[in-house]
Structure 1
């Protein structure tokens, strides 16, 4: 993990502060006569963001300070808006409720997009192309997902991985955890035989020896990450899109991914955000 003033952090900060030179005023939304969410953020000079709760490498607490891939994206967006960041760590199942109940302005918390979720909120273009899969030790004797019958497979409660695991591998015994940290602890203790998670979670296991032994048994689905916004907030969504566009072109997203996901990723993965 980079020190507070490491070259990696300086590059990320430089990318964040230089992302956008566009002028965005706090004027009321045209034709509505009332403030929209972007105006409220600018007036309050604070961006409230739902972020991961102990879900490394996306978000976790390090010496009482929040850090991680999504935390850095949230800092970059707040810097681009020239407002203070107020993060709210939430469990996966509480991300959308926090947004709908106006406890936060946006969600930046490894949020995947589904048809059901699109009925509730709007999504930005993707900022982190990832996939979710089932993983286990190379020496576990489990050759593929078909061999999971009777095996315990850890998954984060309320996540897309939980739904996909139950749909695609019903023969497995799903064991739900509140976050990825206790899930990986259970895997290290061999309390579970495998786990379903995003590929970056598997690639970022702190124990190097264990991480090197982990093998993918199956891909459950491609799972890009998006920023979530409440419905009928077109100005805020457009402002976020402008931020993401420049973060891609400046390679700030790429630098952030390489730092937190440990492995170099293809620049093509961050080119246009389409999915």
Structure 2
């Protein structure tokens, strides 16, 4: 009899353990009441400090907020570097990534991507004084890019003869070009426009054509969390249908902003 009781008790414990094992990330976030969203914090206008309050704000942050709101939980932003994005997600230190995360086959093999919430052109800038006209003019020269970024990947693919020099973040990579340590600087078009405006009166730069690539940005999530992936995509599609996604674009990038851009994309599945 005693043996039977022990066996039954063990079975009950195993049942409880199994129940815990299938508890998914989405349920866990709701239970704890906090969504940890990894973002860059140095990429204006996507995630950057408010000049007055120093709070992190921007296009990516608004999407982080929308996801947290849909879950009825508080938002906690965690600032991370470009190179640390996927490791931070895989090691469970962030729940999702909304951090200028361009889709690549390599990344898609490691993590899950949401539908695309932004489409970005990757371009190269150079000091006007160098007289460079096209991307091809940088063959055999030094070009900087943020370490681990799609800008770096595109640069290595399109300009294999260039010497790619990487830095931890975009400001450092841009500074290297200003200081003459490299001849070019690869980054998303929107960030390049921002940097160009900052130095136009002192060190004018030209944006070279053609673009290195067009990339789709998605929210990064862990592959083994189907409920979380479904939730995020549902939120994004609702934002597209309601017009909220377009309003966020206009707020940070549209007519009336310093970028004066028009939204030429919609939220849709990424075609890898």
TM-score normalised by length of structure 1: 0.80
Partners of 1:100 and 1:230 within 8 A in 2: yes
Q: Which of the residues 62, 79, 88 maps onto 1:98?
A: 88
SS at match of 2:94: coil
- Show CA shifts across 1:115-135 (max 9, x none): 222221111000001121222
Partners of 2:113 and 2:221 within 8 A in 1: yes
State the match for 1:4 in structure 2. none
Measured in 1, the distance between the counterparts of 2:72 and 2:85 equals 24
What is the CA distance between 1:246 and its match in structure 2? 1.5
What count of residue pairs does the alignment treat as equivalent?
Answer: 245
Partners of 2:216 and 2:270 within 8 A in 1: no
Measured in 2, the distance between the counterparts of 1:139 and 1:252 equals 42
State the match for 1:113 in structure 2. 103
Larger radius of gyration: 2
Q: Which of the residues 51, 54, 57 maps onto 2:45?
A: 57
Decide whether aligned partners of structure 1 residues 268 and 218 sit closer, same or farther in structure 2, where only a CA change above 3 A counts.
closer
What is the CA distance between 1:38 and its match in structure 2? 0.6
SS at match of 2:265: helix
TM-score normalised by length of structure 2: 0.81
**Greater Cα shift, 200-209 or 67-76:** 200-209
State the match for 1:22 in structure 2. none
State the match for 2:142 in structure 1. 152
Q: Could you list the runs of 5+ residues in structure 1 that have no partner in the other structure? A: 1-30
- Show CA shifts across 1:152-171 (max 9, x none): 32210111211221222123
Partners of 2:123 and 2:207 within 8 A in 1: no
Q: Does 1:270 align with 2:266?
A: yes
What is the CA distance between 1:253 and its match in structure 2? 2.1
Q: Does 1:40 align with 2:28?
A: yes
Structure 1 residue runs of 4+, over 6 Å off? none
Measured in 1, the distance between the counterparts of 2:268 and 2:260 equals 18
SS at match of 2:99: strand
What is the CA distance between 1:233 and its match in structure 2? 1.1
Q: Give RMSD over aligned pairs.
A: 2.4
What is the CA distance between 1:139 and its match in structure 2? 4.9
Decide whether aligned partners of structure 1 residues 185 and 251 sit closer, same or farther in structure 2, where only a CA change above 3 A counts.
farther
State the match for 1:162 in structure 2. 152
State the match for 1:181 in structure 2. 171
State the match for 1:249 in structure 2. 241
State the match for 1:72 in structure 2. 62
